[in-house]
Amino acid sequence: MKKTLIVGLALIVVLGLGGVAYWQYKITTTINDQPSVIPSVTLISPNGGEVLKKGSTYTIKWGTQNIPATNKISINIRRVAPPPLPSDGQEFDPIVFINLENTGSKDWTVSDMYPKGNYIIGITSYASIPITDAISDESDTTFQIIDSPIAQANYICDGGRTIQAAFYKGKEYAVEPGQPPIPSGSVQLILSDGRNFDLAKTLSADGGRYANNDESFVFWDKGDTALVLENGVEKDYKGCRVQ
């Protein structure tokens, strides 16, 4: 992590018996001939690898050392590839919080304005606005923001096979009068045989039909039941009904 400005120095001293001893000490800044630890701020979480759902509340945590009690804290966010980033600028406000007291933590409700993807949180300590002499840190690696499902269902099928389904809302499209609606949304499936599917919604006049790109796997939500087609036929998952 990019937190420590203190330098460690090791001295090697050769002893008379041929042994080697290591002396280690720290170099710090000095104020009035007294050692002083360099000011620092450390982002504790999210620090990489976390998965945050939109609409959920997450606690951002940080620590500071040798920071004046009157200093304020700001928190910002940025999206990083993958997936590909927009070509016309960031599509959301990068400022999460500003002028926070240095309490070490802040609850954050993850907004719907963040597209699902990979993100970095940055944190800055400063004396006042406009910000000068800022002390900053950020997540070591990316964390994810994902959509929250609008509905979930568990299906039990013949032979004791099961399907866990999470339904996600898609973008709404304007259509011309008299034209069919443009399908959007998706479903994520976890099958009891270990397979996982992320299927896009397709046009259907009967229930919610979801399929992969080549239509080799189709999941058809029909209310309290579901039809599963593999290469156009019912195969392993038959008679599926909501538990």
Domain boundaries, the chain: 38-146, 151-242
Task: List the structure tokens of 160.
Answer: 């004791």
CA pair distance 74, 242, nearest whole angstrom: 47
pLDDT of residue 18: 38
pLDDT of residue 90: 74
Q: Is 62 exposed, middle or buried (0-12, 13-18, 19+ CB in 10 A)?
A: buried
Mean pLDDT by 10 residues, the chain (243 residues): 39 35 38 67 97 95 96 96 83 94 97 93 95 94 94 96 94 84 91 96 84 96 94 96 95
CA pair distance 27, 24, nearest whole angstrom: 10
Task: List the structure tokens of 36.
Answer: 């002083």
CA pair distance 159, 239, nearest whole angstrom: 9
Architecture of the domain made up of 38-146: Sandwich (2.60)
CA pair distance 187, 208, nearest whole angstrom: 10
Domain 151-242 falls under CATH 1.10.1060:
no
CA pair distance 117, 144, nearest whole angstrom: 6
This prediction has a pTM of 0.64
- Max CA-CA distance within the chain? 96
Place of tokens 């940055």: 122
Strand order in the sheet with 40-45: 40-45, 57-65, 105-109
Segment holding 109, helix H or strand E:
strand 105-109
Do the domains at 38-146 and 151-242 have one common CATH topology?
no
pLDDT of residue 21: 36
Q: Letter for the amino acid at 73?
A: I
- Choose among 197, 204, 234: nearest CA to 221: 204
Q: C-alpha distances in angstroms, 191 versus 162, 194, 196, 233? A: 6, 6, 6, 17
pLDDT of residue 69: 92
Give percent helix, percent strand, percent coil of the chain, each to the nearest 5: 0, 50, 50
pLDDT of residue 136: 97
CB atoms within 10 A of CB 212: 13
pLDDT of residue 1: 46
pLDDT of residue 35: 52
Segment holding 164, helix H or strand E:
strand 162-168
CB atoms within 10 A of CB 190: 15
